[in-house]
Amino acid sequence: MFQLVLSGLALGCVYSLVALGYHLTFITSRTLNFAQGSAMMLGAVITLILVVDFNWPTLPATLVSILLLGVFGLALERFAVRPFVRRGSMAWVMSTLAVGIIVENVAQLIFGKSPRGLPNELAQDPVMVGGAGIYPLELLIPVVVLAIAVAARLFYGSTMLGRALRATAFDREASLAVGINVDWMIGLSYAASSMLAAVGGVLIGPLIGVSSHMGFLIGLKAFAVAIVGGLEHPLGILIAALAYGVVENLIGGHFGSSAKEIFGFGLVILVLFLRPAGLFGRTRLRRI
């Protein structure tokens, strides 16, 4: 039981990274990056190729893959989101989905269909914690997520760029009025979104294996977490992700993988029915 809880917390932390990417793009542009799962997969695949095929050390390979995914996010927003938003069209939903599918299939052509292991010394020999065997990497994942949360807090509160992002999220028209480049802020939110997904892919890759299709289900569950927690509520998303990961792991450990998928997506439907804004979100009144 304790082992399932610890593993579930690590999995929930990965969900939170991907889900917070949905939050970032939504609060700045009212759009969602539905290529999040593919970005997560791409981060893991690039890291594995650099480490295994080109013999790079893990840390430089990870940093390069995260930076490349930042560029990917910028390009995605510029060419697959912005043109449709400017026309007042919802076609960005299909375009981001299409980009994700294209990326997944290109990765499959290059990388192959079979999962490959991403070498990591922290995912080789389990350690005993409270009588449960768990990989050191699973203990490191929450630490990494906490460090990212602290860094993001400092970034938003202590830098001009962070304040500009917050202003864009709070009031886009007022931000334009004071000279903030809103388009650049939105592009930056997409870059950060993809980079968070890449971090999640690099962290989870050594535990579940790296494959071209690994991002689809995780991206979908992360979106479910964002809905349950409330798209505009980052703390709610984090709490929902941790709870989702733990409960899903417990159900999967006792009743099998099919049962955990039924639970997870059934919960999303229930939350949408009872609280469309999410458990921690607030329903806003709109003036007509």
Share of the chain above pLDDT 70, in %: 97
Average pLDDT, the chain: 90
CB atoms within 10 A of CB 150: 10
Cβ proximity of 44 and 202 under 8 Å = yes
Domain limits, the chain: 2-215
3-state SS assignment for residue 101:
helix
Please compute the mean of the pLDDT values over residues 167-178 and round it to a whole number: 87
Enclosing H/E stretch for 129: strand 127-129
Q: How far apart are alpha carbons 33 and 22 in whole angstroms?
A: 6
Centroid of chain to Cα 81 = 18
Q: How far apart are alpha carbons 126 and 148 in whole angstroms?
A: 25
pLDDT at 282: 64
Tokens for 204, please give them: 């989870």
Cβ proximity of 34 and 162 under 8 Å = no
Please compute the mean of the pLDDT values over residues 3-11 and round it to a whole number: 89
For residue 15, give the nearest of 204, 235, 260 by alpha carbon: 204
- Which DSSP state fits 132? E
Regarding beta strands 132-134 and 127-129, do their DSSP bridges make them parallel or antiparallel, or are they unpaired? antiparallel
18-34 tens-digit pLDDT: 999 999 999 999 999 99
Orientation of helix 92-111 relative to helix 214-229, angle to 10°: 150
Across 126-135, 177-186, 227-236, least confident range: 126-135
Q: How far apart are alpha carbons 231 and 161 in whole angstroms?
A: 22
Enclosing H/E stretch for 35: none
Query: Is residue 177 scored above 80 in pLDDT?
Result: yes
Across 73-87, 192-206, 258-272, least confident range: 258-272
3-state SS assignment for residue 127:
strand
3-state SS assignment for residue 78:
helix
pTM beyond cutoff 0.85? yes
42-70 tens-digit pLDDT: 999 999 999 999 999 999 999 999 999 99
